[in-house]
Amino acid sequence: MNLLRPIGALVLALGLIAGCQRSSSRRPPSQPSYGQGYPPYGAPPQGYPQQPGYPQQQPGYPQQQPGYPQQQPGYPPAQTGSAPAPTFSVPTVPGLPVLGDPINDINIGWLQTEAGVVMGALIGALSSSAQQKVRGIPFIADPTVGEVNAFAGCDDQRMPFMAITDGLLEIQAQIAQFKATDEIFGTKKLDEFLRMLAQRQRPGQPILRPPAGFIDPVQHTDARKVARQRQLYDEQLAFVLGHELGHHHLGHTGCANGQGGSRGVTPADLGRMLSRALPVFNQPNEIAADVAGVNNLLSAGARQQGYRWTEGGAMLTLGFFASLDQLTPAAILFAFEQTHPHPLLRQPVVQQTANTWRLTGGATAFPFPGFGG
């Protein structure tokens, strides 16, 4: 695999991760060292051309976008009780159109920043012992073209890091807005997007974007749809990132020990290290990470005001890749399933874990004996 083009690491802003000292003079040795089984497959280092119909992204992180309130510091106390959260909670009547929405526009900088906000909420909801293991771990945006994955790993000095690809952020933003459109207006846009990817997406290429007018312009900017897609995007991210955090605090990677994180992993380093790492499929650890991720996202969701995250985002993400696999093997397009159990096997685990979390009022025990990592 060629090395990733060194276009610069984007370390996402984490609500509760701080104090990671970086040293530009510290160069890693030539041989990588990974925890068992979590690197993704890389892709050829091509530029990410701007696609028609979308504005050019500005360098750095964007300011708060119109239509969303400012992120509030800290997290409200957890709410007690075991009743499931409502399916969704959005305005029942249309409001003024929301223009410049970052999910509608696939604003990669905003999507990255929001991932950091979600990560901070997840870490804040972990037990103190788990928090201690993952606090200070850097979170890197991987720009590898066409790569759809998130991963936990260890650098050459056996220091932990986490990364998520721009491709996965984009896929989840597209899933969120098409699912929200379908829920509000009774359309089938998510199915249409699935068929488009199955027919036209190619490995190692930028994620396909539907043509202008794919969603009715009035529906596209509808305030109810925009509110709902924000909920879905965060909820999907919470599962994916909670899963990867689980690999670290459950000890699967073997390098998250509370001593901080990697001091200098860049996208170029990822390309160099991952080109030499062979993924090892470990189903027990993957199931354990799914369970940990669901418990983490539900606990974090219970601390939120307003809408509370449910397992719906996890089921949506897994259902999307399961459906894509039925149309064309998803592993051929994204290699996602080559490092994880098949989505159809993961969905019952997610649902049972969520049911157990609610039955116990959040006081969960591991529901799958022998899969605790």
Mean pLDDT of the region 50-54: 33
C-beta neighbour count of 232 within 10 angstroms: 24
Q: How far apart are the first and last CA of the chain?
A: 31
**How far, in Å, CA of 312 to CA of 183, rounded?**
13
Segment (H or E) for 226: helix 223-249
Nearest partner of 279 among 43, 45, 35, 44, judged by Cα: 35
Q: How far apart are CA 118 and CA 15, in angstroms?
A: 8
How high is the pLDDT of residue 60?
Answer: 31
Q: Encode pLDDT of 112-161 as tens digits.
A: 999 999 999 999 999 999 999 998 888 988 898 888 888 888 888 888 88
Average pLDDT (41-52) is: 30
CA torsion, ordered 26, 31, 35, 37, to nearest 10 deg: 140
Residue 291: per-residue pLDDT: 96
Residue 259 pLDDT class (50, 70, 90 cuts): confident
pLDDT band, very low/low/confident/very high, at 12 (cuts 50, 70, 90): very low
Tell me if 267 sits within 8 A of 6, measured CB to CB.
yes
113 in helix, strand or coil?
helix
Q: Which residue has the tokens 């993704």?
A: 40
- Looking up tokens 């040795």 gives 29
Indicate the pLDDT class of residue 282, thresholds 50, 70 and 90: confident
> What whole-number distance in Å separates Cα of residue 269 and Cα of residue 370?
35
Structure tokens at 239: 């599962």
pLDDT above 90: percentage of residues in the chain: 46
Which pair of tokens denotes residue 61? 């992180």
| Separation CA 325–CA 319 (nearest Å) | 10
Per-residue pLDDT of 186-236, as tens digits, reads 999 999 999 999 999 988 899 999 998 999 999 999 999 999 999 999 999
Query: In the prediction, which pLDDT does 338 show?
Result: 64
pLDDT of amino acid 204: 85
Tokens standing for residue 319: 């259902």
What is the pLDDT confidence band of residue 249, given thresholds at 50, 70 and 90? very high
| Beta-carbon contacts of residue 69 (< 8 Å; ≥ 6 apart) | none
Q: pLDDT tens digit string along 352-372?
A: 999 999 999 887 555 454 444
Q: Find the range with the poorest average confidence among 138-147, 167-176, 242-251, 356-365.
A: 356-365
DSSP state string for 45-99: ----PPPTTSPPPPSSPPPPPTTSPPPPSS-PPPPP--PPPPS----SS--S---
- The rounded distance, in Å, linking the Cα atoms of 164 and 143 is 9
Say what the pLDDT of residue 203 is: 85
Mean predicted lDDT score pLDDT of the chain:
74
Q: How confident is the model at residue 304 (pLDDT cuts 50, 70, 90)?
A: very high
Burial of 68 (0-12, 13-18, 19+ CB in 10 A): middle
Sequence-ordered list of residues with C-beta below 8 angstroms from that of 219, at least 6 positions apart, any chain: 181, 184, 185, 187, 225
> Residue 20 and residue 24: Cα distance in Å, rounded?
13
pLDDT of residue 311: 97
**Residue type (1 letter), 192:** E
Quote the CA–CA distance of 86 and 312 in Å, as a whole number: 10
Contact assessment for residue 137 and residue 19, using Cβ atoms and an 8 Å cutoff:
no
